[in-house]
Every structure is written in structure tokens, then in C-alpha cells.
Amino acid sequence: MNIQGVKQRFGIIGRSPLLERALNTAMRVASTDLSVLIQGESGVGKEVFSRIIHDLSVRKHNNFIAINCGAIPAGTINSELFGHEKGSFTGALGERKGYFETVNGGTIFLDEIGEMPLDTQAYLLRMLESGEFLRVGSSKVLITDVRVIAATNVNLEEKIHSGKFREDLYYRLNTVPIRVPALHERRDDIYMLFRKFSGDFAEKYRSDSITLTPEAKLILENYRWPGNIRELKNMVEQLSVLSEQKEVDAEHLVELVPHLTERLLPSKKFDSTQTEGGFHEREIIFKFLLEMKSDLSDLKSLIYELIRTNDLTLPDISALKNMSSYNAEALFTKNYPTPASSMRNEEYEPYDNKPILLQNKQNFHQTDEVEEIKSIEEMEKDMIRKALKKFNNRRKDAADELGISERTLYRKIKEYNIPEKL
């Protein structure tokens, strides 16, 4: 079956190269038993890809089940997946077969795999590697033949760094990765999907399908669609019910769906699992800024001491506001009588109305440079390097000095490519 046949069979709309690349990968891997990890934002249709893989495989006549790992409580997910024995926990009135036992020979789709508890991840890893598993409360090893397709809308590598996901399980699941593009990455497909949903809802509500004017279409295509296809479908149904116009113009579209004019720029999502790391990173920054403040205070004290001991004068502060007309050589000046010619030499400038701090004019111009202000990342990197060097690369001592956990320090070392030995 070719890509067009797959699109027609599973109701997939679009001509985006990114979409067709993902479909092509799903078709090619379907005939194998390799584990597949489907990645993409929420609402892009990851479950549809799992159905494509199953229905085009040799397991197509066996069972297929989709499980949302985030919807099952942590205390019962082991029982749901692997089963339990009678009396293994409170409420276990009899033995129960889990999904991996009942779907033997078929396919299990594990959605939101990033929400799976760590102990369940260990059970799943063993099952993937050997096909063996244990019911909760049992010591009898059971065998199953199940193909696992996993999906996630979060960055599993970040979960690994925060200790919330097993690295070995990630590489075991990620044998064949498939990335489903977000709707804002396939803008040419947005109006095609709009027309498809409009026709479906017109048939459902026995009314005429709605269309868009060119201006309204432009608004639709320039919205970011954070909810992707699911959000678009809901919006079309809303228009089909509420709109009195069959050709919706831009003004009417914004009136019914005002948030379409918002510029939803991508931003970093807050992850509660990273709270500790983010707090300690701020501590590093604050500590570095305090050190900078201390250095500036010392520098200020040094300048005031030079002014006091050398009887120097400063220009009017208003003169410093216009730096383009400011003469740097006139910063510190003092009037001295011209010394005898025998005291002059080529190293010193004449003392008549010249800066007391200048001993060599050439050297002054060479040092007349302002050090570039470092970025926050560079500040962090310098602090970490100093701490590691201070404690001879002992990470625990360096982490204690910086006020962060050893795990956060290890992640920062990897992020900034800091050598293991300084």
C-alpha cells in the first residue's frame, strides 16, 4: 500500500513533506517487530500512527489496545499492565490478568510513556528485553509476545536528566523514532483540514458546510494552534454551530473565536520536576552577582584611595554623560610645575597638566578597553569551573560549595561541555 492509500484508509489529510516522512517511516517499520517511539505535541494524532503500524503488520488480526499511562494511578498501574494474584494487596479479591497477558500476540500502545512510574519502567524494560514478566504478588515467571509502541509529548531526555525516566528504557523504546509534525509546521494543510471537518459537521448537523474568505483563511493559517488538530476540529465545530454566515469573513471569525488573533509564540514549558534544578541554578547566578558586586566595591575603594592619596580631581559628572566628547586622558589630572629637563626621560610624559596615572601614553591607549559583559551562561560556567578547580574535581564538594545538588552539577557539566578534569 502506498502513502495515498494509507491516507485514504485512515482519514489523514495533508501534503506536508514532514507528515509524509512520518507516514513513510510508519509504513516501513510496520512489517517488523521493532519497538517504536512516536514523538509529537499533544493533539497531533500519535494514536493514529500506532494504528497504522498495527494494521499494516502481521499482528493485524490480533488485539490492539491503547493505554494512557498518565491516566492510571501509580499504585495500580503495575496491576493493570502485568496483573496480580489474589491477596497481593488490599482489594485484590481474586487473580487478574494484565494487559500484557490478555493482548498476547497483539500490540500495546503506551501513550504518555513519560508519566510511567520508575518501578513500572523496570518491569517494562524486562518485558521488552526477554518477554518475561511477573504478576504483582507472584513469583511465577510468565511469557508474552507483545509489540510495544510508545508515545510522548514531552522531552524524555530532560526526564532522564532529572531522574524521572530510565535511560536504558528510553534507548530500548527508541529503536525506531517517528516524529509527528505539529500543525503550525504544516500550515498549507490547515485549510484542507478545515474543509474536511466542516463537511463532517455539516453532515452531522444536517446543515451547509461553512467556508472562509481569503482574509479569514489567512488568520487561520497564521495562528499557532497549540492544541493542534484537536483544537482545530473543536474550533470548526464551534463555528458550524454558532456562525450565522456560511462564508465566514475575518471580522465574524474573530468575533466568534477571538483568541485566533493572539500571537502564541513558543515558550519553555514549566516542568515541576525541574523546580529544584531551576532554584539551584538561580542560586549560582545570585552568588556570582554578589561576587561581582564585591569586586566592584573593592575597585571603587581603590579608585577613591588613589584620588585621595594623589590629590587628584574628577571632571564634572555631567561631562560624563556625553561620552563621544569625553577626553579619557583628562579623567585624573593635577597641575604640577614643569620639572627640570634633566629629570625628563622618554618613559615619562611632561607633568604640565597631564594625568598623574599616565606613565606611558602608548600603554594607556592599549589598556583603554572595556571588558565585555559576560552572559548568564558564562557566569554559571565560570563559577562551576572555579569550584571544580578549587576542590580538585571532587564534584560533591564543588556542589556543596555552589549550593546545588550533585545531580544538578553533573547536568550542568554536560550542558556546558566542561572537561572532567581541570
Domain coverage including residue 407: 376-415
Listed residues 181, 210, 243: the one ending a domain: 181
Pair (169, 233) in one structural domain: no
Burial track 283-293 (b if 16+ CB lie within 10 A, e otherwise): ebeebbeeeee
- Determine if the pTM surpasses 0.95: no
146 φ, ψ to 5°? -130, 135
Query: Can you spell out the DSSP letters for 221-232?
Result: HHS--TTHHHHH
Pair (161, 242) in one structural domain: no
How much is the CA Rg of the chain, to the nearest whole Å?
A: 34
Rounded distance, CA 330 to CA 357, Å? 11
Pair (172, 203) in one structural domain: no
Pair (143, 238) in one structural domain: no
Listed residues 261, 279, 309: the one ending a domain: 261
Q: What pairs with residue 143 in β-bridges? A: 132
| 253 touches 380 (CB < 8 A) | no
Pair (49, 138) in one structural domain: yes
Pair (110, 234) in one structural domain: no
C-alpha cell at 87: 491477596
Per-residue pLDDT of the chain (422 residues; tens, 9 = 90+): 789 999 999 999 999 999 999 999 999 999 999 999 999 999 999 999 999 999 999 999 999 999 999 999 988 999 999 999 988 888 788 889 999 999 999 999 999 999 999 999 999 999 999 999 999 999 899 999 999 999 999 999 999 999 999 999 999 999 999 999 999 999 999 999 999 999 999 999 898 899 999 999 999 999 999 999 999 999 999 999 998 888 999 999 999 999 888 754 444 444 444 444 555 556 667 666 767 777 777 777 777 777 777 766 665 555 544 544 444 444 444 444 444 444 444 444 444 444 444 444 444 444 444 444 556 677 788 888 888 888 888 888 888 888 788 878 878 888 888 886 76
Pair (198, 86) in one structural domain: no
User: Nearest CA to 224 among 17, 41, 15?
Assistant: 41
| 42 touches 151 (CB < 8 A) | no
Is residue 175 one of the residues assigned to a domain? yes
Count of domains for the chain: 3
